[in-house]
Amino acid sequence: MSNLPSHARVVIIGGGAVGASSLYHLAKAGWTDCVLLEKNELTAGSTWHAAGNVPTFSSSWSIMNMQRYSASLYRDLGALVDYPMNYHVTGSIRLGHSKERLLEFKRVVGMGRYQGMDLDILTPAEMRGRYPFLETHELTGALYDPYDGDIDPAQLTQALAKGARDLGAKIIRFCPVTGARRENDEWVISTPQGEIRCEYVVNAAGYYAREVGKMFGRDVPMMVMSHQYILFDEIPELAAWSKEAGHKLPLLRDVDSSYYLRQEKYGMNLGPYEKNCRAHWVTPDDPMPEDFSFQLFPDDLERLEWYLNDAVERVPILGTAGLSRVINGPIPYAPDGNPLIGPMPGVPNAFEACVFTFGICQAGGAGKVLAEWVTEGQTEWDMWSCDPRRYTDYTDQDYCIAKGMEIYGHEYAMHFPKHYWPAGRGKKLSRIHDRIAALGAQFKPYNGWERAMWYAKPGDDTSEQATQTWGREGPWARRIEEECLAVRDAAGILDLPGFSRFRIKGEGAREWLTGLITGRVPKPGRIGLAYFADDKGRIVTEMSVIAIEEDFFFLITAATAQWHDFEWLQKHRPADAAFTLDDVTANFSCQILTGPKSRDILAEVSDADLSKGWLTHQTAQIAGRYCQLVRVSFAGELGWEIHTKVDDTAAIFDTVWAAGQKHGLKPFGMEALDSLRIEKGYRAWKGDLSTDYTILQGGLERFVDWSKPAFKGKAALEREKQQGVSKRFVTLTVEAGECDAPYMSTLWSNGEVVGETTSGNWGYRVGKSIALGMLRADLAVPGQAIEVEIFGDRFKAIVQPDQPLWDSSNERLRA
C-alpha cells in the first residue's frame, strides 16, 4: 500500500542536502504539510559523493550571506534535532600568489567583517604558524577564515530530514516523479505510487533538475561536469602533529593553482578544478542515464597530474602518501556557477532550488531562502545572484556547456571589473554590431546582447591579460575619458540593444499601474520613472513608463530584468483585467544620442519638434523610418533615446552618424555611461536599487505620491516614514587611490561600520572618484567626513548635498 498522501501544500522533488534543507525550513516556518519525494535514497545524487567543504568565503555579498548562515546553522544543528553529525570547524587558509589576489582577499575581509565574521590576512610567516607543512614560495599572503571546515554530507542531510520529520513534514523515498500537470490551479505530480496534488512545487533535483524542469515546460539552464578528488592514505608525520596539536590542519586552498587540500582523518583529500575539464551527458554517445544514484564516473587521473605535482611542491608530506581512492562524480553547473533559487520562470507556483555547484556549504542558506520565497513571496536578502530569472531565452544547451566548462576551469578566478569572459559569446547581436565593432567596440553581454563597453583605438592593448586588474587605469581609461568628454562637449551615440520592453494597453491600465507603483503615472505624451515596492516597502525594480494614450503604455526596464520584471507585472495583473500585457522586447531596439550638439544633429535628419521639453516623447521620422524620440538621458546631458523597430536600427544609425560627424559625434560605451550616470547620482538596478533597501532608504521619496489612497508597499512606507529611516542613500566623493570603491565597500566613522557602498566609479566630468551608498541616517549630512574601505585601506570621503555632482540644477539636461 502506498504511503503517498493525496495532497500537500508543497511538494519538493529531490532528496539531497538542498531538498532536505528546503523541507526543514518550510516546516520551521510553520508549513508542515509538505512532502519531499526522492527517486532513490536520500543523498543519492551529488550529495553522497560531495567532499563536504563548508567555506563562508565568497566575493558575492548575497552568497556570502547564504554560506555564513549555513555554517552558523550547522554548528548547532546536531544538538537541535538530536542527530549525531561530524562537523569539523578547522578554519581555512586561502593562498594568494599575486597583488591582485591579495586585494580580493582584503575586500572579502571587509565584507565578512560587516557580516559579523572575523576574517584575517596572513603573511607567509603566519601561514607556517598555522600550517607547519606548508612551503611558502611565490606567495604574497593568504586569507584566513576561522569559520571554514568540513561536514559529513550524508549526516547533514539526514539531520535536516529528521528535523523536518519531527516538525511534521513527510519524506517518501524510492518514489520518482514521472510527470506534472496543472489542474484547477493545483499541481498534480505523478509517481509510480500514485498522484499527489499540491499548491506549490520545488525542483531540487540536483543534476537531474533539467529533466525534471522539462515536466513543467522549463528548460533549466545547466550542464553537468565531472569533478574528481583524490583521497590519500594516512601520513605518519601528519598523524603525529595532529595528535599533539589536538586538532586538524586548516583546510588549504591554493586558488591560483586551482585546488583545495584538506586533512581527512590522518590522510589528505586533494580536489582540483582543472582547466582540461570534462563535461558529461552532453553528446549522443554519452546520454544521461535514467538513474545514476550512488554511482561514479571512471577515474581520469591524467587530467589531475599537474595539480597533484603542484600540491606536492606546496605541501611536500603529500608526496609521501599512497593514493587511497579517486572519487569522480557529477556536479551540476549553471552558466555563472551560482545556483538557481527562486521562482521557476514562466511557471505558476513553481520554484527552483537546484544546480548547486557547492551544495553542501550553501544548503542551509538555500533552504532558508527557498522557504522565504514560497511562504512569503520575497526573501530577506536580495538574492538576484541566484534568481533563476537572471537567465532568459539565450541559454541554449551549447551556451550552458561552454559557460559551465569555462566556470569550472576558472573556479577560483578573480572577477575583475573590466574583464569579460569569452565563452558563449555572440548569442544576440544588434543590427549595427559590425559597424560599431569596426569603430573599435569592446563588447560585454547583457542578457545575451552584446553591447559596446568602450572603444579602443589602433595600438590599444585589448588583450585579456590587460584586464587582470582591480585598478582604474588601463588601456580603457583614456578612451572612456574621451567618450565622456565627447558627450559633455559635443555629442555621443550609444547602441543599446535588448532594453526590456512591455506593452500595456486597454481599459483599466492606468488605474492598475497607479495602484502598483509608488508615484504618479505620467500623462499621455510624457515619460516618467516608476518604482515598484514590495509589501515591506523595499525596492523591487525601476521602470520608465512611456504614456502613449490614457490607457496605453510602454514600460522600459533593464535588459537583464526582462523575465524578472515581466513576471512581477504578470503576477499582479488581475485575472479579469480588460487590458493586455505583452513582452515586446524582441521587436524594438534603442540608441542614445546625447550631448549639447544632439539637437543640432537631429534637426538635420528628423521631422521632430525638438523644442519639446525634458520627459516628453514623440513619434518622428529619420531616414524615412518611424521612431519614438524620448527626451531623457541617463548620461545627464541634453539628449534623446531613439527607439526603433529592430529592422530600422541600421538605417537610422547610419543617418545620425553621418550627420553627426561635423558636430563631433563620437561613439561611447557602457563604461562611459556608468561614469556619466554616477556623476548624476542615477541609480543602477541590483546595485543601488535592490530589495536590500526600502524606497525611503533609497532616497526616492520624491517618487512617492502619499496622496494616493493605496499602492503596493504604502502601509510599510508610512510606518517607516513615521519612525524614521535607519540609513539613507548618499553620494560620496572619495579621496581614492588606484581603485574606485566596488559594490559593498564598507563605510566607517570613528572606528565603527556605518554603511556600505552600492556602486563606485571615476567621474571624468568632475575629475573625482565617486561612490553611491547607504549611510547611517545621522551621518547622512552634507559635508560629513567618513571613510570608505577599498580593498583593505580606508580613504577619506565626504557626503555630498542631495543633488547631482554634475549639472546640479539640471540646466544642461533640460536645455
List, as one string, the DSSP characters of 298-335. PP-GGGGHHHHHHHHHHSGGGGGSPEEEEEEEEEEE-T
Residue 571 burial (CB < 10 Å; 0-12/13-18/19+)? exposed
Provide the grid cell at 199: 499548491
* Torsion of Cα atoms, 188 then 192 then 193 then 199, to 10°: -20
pLDDT tens sequence across 465-503? 999 999 999 999 999 999 999 999 999 999 999 999 999
Identify whether the C-beta of residue 557 lies closer than 8 Å to the C-beta of residue 451: no
3-class DSSP state of 244: helix
> How do residues 298-312 score in pLDDT, each as one tens digit?
999 999 999 999 999
C-alpha angle 95/99/105, rounded to 5°? 50
Segment 408-418 shows an average pLDDT of 96
Q: Residue 265: what pLDDT?
A: 94
Residue 138 one-letter amino acid: E
**Residue range 148-167: mean pLDDT, rounded:** 97
How far is Cα 398 from Cα 223, in angstroms, rounded to an integer? 9
Convert 677-713 to b/e letters by CB count within 10 Å (16 or more is b): bbbbbbbbbbbbbbbbbbbbbbbbeebbeeeeeebbb
E strand or H helix at 345: none
How far from the centroid of its chain's Cα atoms is residue 323's Cα? 39
Helices then strands, each counted (H, E), the chain: 20, 38
Backbone angles phi, psi at 342, to 5 degrees: 145, -165
- CB neighbours of 800 closer than 8 A, spacing ≥ 6? 730, 731, 732, 733, 782
Q: Say what the pLDDT of residue 595 is.
A: 98
For 683-723, the pLDDT digits (tens) are: 999 999 999 999 999 999 999 999 999 999 999 999 999 99
Residue 592 is inside which H or E element, if any? strand 588-594
Residues with Cβ < 8 Å from 421, sequence gap 6 or more?
403, 406, 410
Task: For residues 241 and 237, give the distance between their C-alpha atoms in angstroms, rounded to a whole number.
Answer: 6
CA–CA dist 335, 400 (Å, integer): 5
Q: Answer whether 637's CB lies under 8 Å from 488's CB.
A: yes
pLDDT attached to residue 177: 98
DSSP state, residue 218: -
487, containing H or E segment: helix 475-489
Q: How far is CA 256 from CA 52, 96, 308, 794, in A?
A: 21, 7, 14, 27
CB 609 within 8 A of CB 617: no
One-letter amino acid for residue 609 of the chain: D
Tally of residues, the chain: 815
Q: Return the C-alpha cell found at 64.
A: 556570502
| Per-residue pLDDT, 489 | 98
Query: What is d(CA 500, CA 685) in angstroms, rounded to the nearest whole number?
Result: 13
Angle 359-362-365 from CA coordinates, rounded to 5°: 140
The neighbouring-strand residues paired with 15 are none
Q: Are strands 639-645 and 588-594 parallel, antiparallel or unpaired?
A: antiparallel
Per-residue pLDDT tens over the stretch 234-269: 999 999 999 999 999 999 999 999 999 999 999 999
- Please write the tens of the pLDDT for every residue from 504-553: 999 999 999 999 999 999 999 999 999 999 999 999 999 999 999 999 99
pLDDT at position 425: 97
Nearest-10 Cα torsion for 128, 134, 138, 144? -60
Grid cell locating 328: 569522480
Q: How many CB atoms lie within 10 A of CB 118?
A: 11
Residue-level pLDDT at 1: 42
Mean of all residue pLDDT scores within the chain: 97
Asked if residue 479 lies in contact with residue 458, where contact means CB atoms within 8 angstroms, the answer is no
Q: Measuring CA to CA, which residue among 427, 711, 683, 700 is closest to residue 557? A: 683
Cβ atoms 496, 552 nearer than 8 A: no
With CA atoms as reference, report the closest residue to 499 among 544, 539, 532: 544
Tens-digit pLDDT profile for residues 360-409? 999 999 999 999 999 999 999 999 999 999 999 999 999 999 999 999 99
Q: Mean per-residue pLDDT for 614-641?
A: 97
CA–CA gap between residue 422 and residue 549 (Å, rounded): 44
pLDDT band at residue 2, thresholds of 50, 70 and 90?
low
Of 543, 639, 536, 613, which is closest to residue 585 (Cα–Cα)? 543
How far is CA 341 from each of CA 103, 119, 371, 603, 653, rounded to the nearest angstrom? 30, 27, 10, 50, 40
Q: What are phi and psi of 356, to 5 degrees?
A: -95, 115
Q: Who contacts 198 (Cβ-Cβ below 8 Å, separation ≥6)?
A: 7, 8, 9, 10, 11, 35, 186, 187, 189
Contacts of 104 (CB under 8 A, 6+ apart): 59, 96, 414, 470, 791
Q: What is the pLDDT of residues 431-473, one digit of tens each?
A: 999 999 999 999 999 999 999 999 999 999 999 999 999 999 9
In degrees rounded to 5, what are phi and psi of residue 214? -60, -30
pLDDT above 70 (res 561): yes
> What CA–CA distance (Å, rounded) separates 518 from 538?
11
DSSP 538: B
What b/e string do you get for 291-325 counting C-beta neighbours within 10 Å, with b at 16 or more? Answer: ebeeeebeeeeebbebbbebbbebbebbeebeeee
Q: Is 61 helix (H, G, I), strand (E, B) or coil?
A: helix
CA-closest candidate to residue 362, choices 731, 73, 652, 669: 73
Q: What is the pLDDT of residue 688?
A: 97
Residues 6+ apart with CB under 8 A from 275: 258, 409, 410
Provide the β-strand partners of residue 727: 776
Task: Tell me whether strands 350-354 and 340-343 are parallel, antiparallel or unpaired.
Answer: antiparallel
Q: Average of pLDDT values for 331-339?
A: 97
The span from the CA of 313 to the CA of 296, in Å, is 29
Predicted TM-score (pTM) of this structure:
0.96
CB 186: neighbour CB atoms within 10 A? 15
Cα–Cα separations (whole angstroms), residue 469 to 337, 414, 443, 663, 741: 22, 9, 18, 36, 14
Helices 61-81 and 153-166: crossing angle, nearest 10°? 70
Radius of gyration of the chain measured on its C-alpha atoms:
27
